[in-house]
Structure 1
Amino acid sequence: MSLDLTAPIFQDADKAREFLEANRWPNGAFCPHCGEAENVTAVQAKAKEAKAKTRKGLYQCNSCRQQFSVTVGTVFERSHVPLNKWLLATFLLTSSKKGMSAHQLMRTLGLGSYRTAWFMAHRIREAMIEGETGPLGSGGGTVEADETYFGSKEHKSTVRHDGKPYNKRGARGVANKRAVVSLVERGGKVRSFHVKSADAETVRAIVRENVANDAHLRTDESALYNSFKGRFASHETVRHSSKQYVRPGNIHTNTIEGYFSIFKRGMTGIYQHCGEQHLQRYLTEFDFRYSHRSVSDTERTALALKGIEGKRLTYRRVNRQGAEANA
């Protein structure tokens, strides 16, 4: 798969369906309703209906008598958007380092409305959610932990995550911003969490639950990380307040600072505005691309397509706390 807008799977819905069937069902179709894989047949048009327009890619399970297609049981289910446009949207979101706005998706895909593009992007972010594969830094790896704050002190959103109003215009510091805690394993994956408050209890719980005991932890001098002495293989810090960024022994937090830079540039330059209720979804998107930064765009897209199964995202669910203005 390459970024060629003339590629058949990006131009033809049938080619896209065949591509997805080959990827989702390498050993043949199976029923998403009961799991049957042997007693499944393709639905054929009857002789008197042969000239009528029939739905391609329709299968029937002869065990539970349910009909289905390759999109049933995935984030693409019940969408009126052609499947070739779904594949292109998935490729664009997984290959764009700092993301792609819903307005740009709308223009590139030729969609009829901004809301459709916005909802498609959220469905693809749902596919990017990866199951936990154990603690970071297992086997003596190095994990960097840090917190950051995202948002403008003059942000248009009026309600914080906890339901309280943002401070008035002109507030300084982090009072008006959304807290994010991230963990990055050097040469490995990143995990980010949108939290109500980056206080000591919250940050320590995240680190303890997601970092292996035999890992080497690297943080700044924040008091949030003072309680980890003896818990990990080592815990070293750098004093950013004294303009210390690297210590002998490769002790630094430059890796996670680099990740935060990508995230903030993408959120500020590409998405521009994000309702707080959706921030975790955007973090998932940036985490996914960064965690799979060492593979090609083709492979990263394939990994995202593996995540479409077993997930459903309705518009009511994604929009349950109010529509986005400019997601």
Structure 2
Amino acid sequence: MALIVFQTDNLNLLKQGITNNNTIKFQEVDIMRARPKIDKDILNIRNVIDDAKCYEVVRGLRWPITVICPICNSEKVVKNGHDVKQRDRQKYHCGTCNAYFDDLTGTVFENHHQPLSVWVLCLYLMGLNLSNLQIANELGVNKSDIQQMTKFLREGVSTRKPEVILSGEIECDEVYIVAGHKGRADEVKKRS
């Protein structure tokens, strides 16, 4: 199905045609009075990305070689079905510590009701420096939910940032020492 629009001799009228099964239906639309209706699903950013691809990317980033248990770091892990509500979310069972976990266990995305695709798109839109209100409008999610999501994402990024360790000699050329408040230099304690 495609939408075909072209202008007629009258500048205020457009001919709008919809193709369906090799047939074209045309109707004239007065652009001064009414705008052609656009299907909102076409413009919905959430339709661009699917949960299956998101889970695949999370698995690839989290476990590039093989799945590792987040509790005991063992490689003796077997697949244990899928989540009931989210079919693309793989469950696992560790043979060493007998723990059950899934793709999101131990991540920022764990224990939240929003789908993984919404989290990924939120992270992407944060990278574009959009405000929380703009992200909420783009994704069609409540702004308080987006506030919490961006908070968790920022905390997750900051806690996983490697610590900087300085080493070597440090030289200092100048030192600034406060000698009391302006105009009251006599209040500074004298060293004896």
TM-score interval, smaller chain: 0.5 to 0.7
Write out the 4+ residue segments of structure 1 that deviate beyond 3 Å after TM superposition. 5-8, 52-56, 214-217
| Post-superposition CA distance 1:163-194 (Å, at most 9, x none) | xxxxxxxxxxxxxxxxxxxxxxxxxxxxxxxx
Matched with 2:170 is 213
Q: Which has the higher strand share?
A: 2
Matched, 1:100 2:130: yes
Matched with 1:131 is 162
Residues 106, 42 of structure 1: alpha-carbon distance in 2 compared, 3 angstrom cutoff: same
Q: Distance in 2 between matches of 1:117 and 1:27?
A: 33
Q: Distance in 1 between matches of 2:68 and 2:104?
A: 12
CA shift for structure 1 position 92 = 1.9
Q: Which amino acid aligns with 1:62?
A: G
Residues 116, 7 of structure 1: alpha-carbon distance in 2 compared, 3 angstrom cutoff: closer
Matched with 2:110 is 77
Matched with 2:176 is 226
Q: Equivalences for 1:184-203 in 2 at 5 Å?
A: none
Q: Distance in 2 between matches of 1:216 and 1:69?
A: 55
CA contact (8 A) 2:79 2:93 kept: yes
Residues 215, 72 of structure 1: alpha-carbon distance in 2 compared, 3 angstrom cutoff: farther
Q: Which amino acid aligns with 1:22?
A: G
Identity of aligned residues (%): 28
Matched with 2:58 is 20
Single out whichever of 124-133 and 76-85 deviates more from structure 2: 124-133
Correspondence for 1:41 among 54, 66, 78: 78
Matched with 1:121 is 150
Residues 7, 18 of structure 1: alpha-carbon distance in 2 compared, 3 angstrom cutoff: farther
Residues 214, 40 of structure 1: alpha-carbon distance in 2 compared, 3 angstrom cutoff: farther
- Over the residues paired in the alignment, what is the CA RMSD in angstroms? 3.0
CA shift for structure 1 position 67 = 1.4
Q: Secondary structure at the match of 1:28?
A: coil
CA contact (8 A) 2:45 2:138 kept: no
**Bigger Rg over Cα:** 2
Matched, 1:66 2:99: yes
CA shift for structure 1 position 20 = 0.8
Q: Which amino acid aligns with 1:65?
A: N
| TM-score, normalising length: structure 1 | 0.35
| TM-score, normalising length: structure 2 | 0.58
| Post-superposition CA distance 1:279-305 (Å, at most 9, x none) | xxxxxxxxxxxxxxxxxxxxxxxxxxx
Structure 1 residues without counterparts, runs of 5 or longer: 46-51, 140-211, 218-224, 228-327
Matched with 2:20 is none
Q: Distance in 2 between matches of 1:27 and 1:216?
A: 50
Q: Which amino acid aligns with 1:122?
A: K
Matched with 2:36 is none
Residues 26, 12 of structure 1: alpha-carbon distance in 2 compared, 3 angstrom cutoff: same
| Post-superposition CA distance 1:73-120 (Å, at most 9, x none) | 111111111111111111221x32xx3222111111221x21110000
Q: Secondary structure at the match of 2:81?
A: coil
Matched with 2:40 is none
Residues 43, 20 of structure 1: alpha-carbon distance in 2 compared, 3 angstrom cutoff: same
Aligned length: 130
Structure 2 residues without counterparts, runs of 5 or longer: 1-43, 178-192
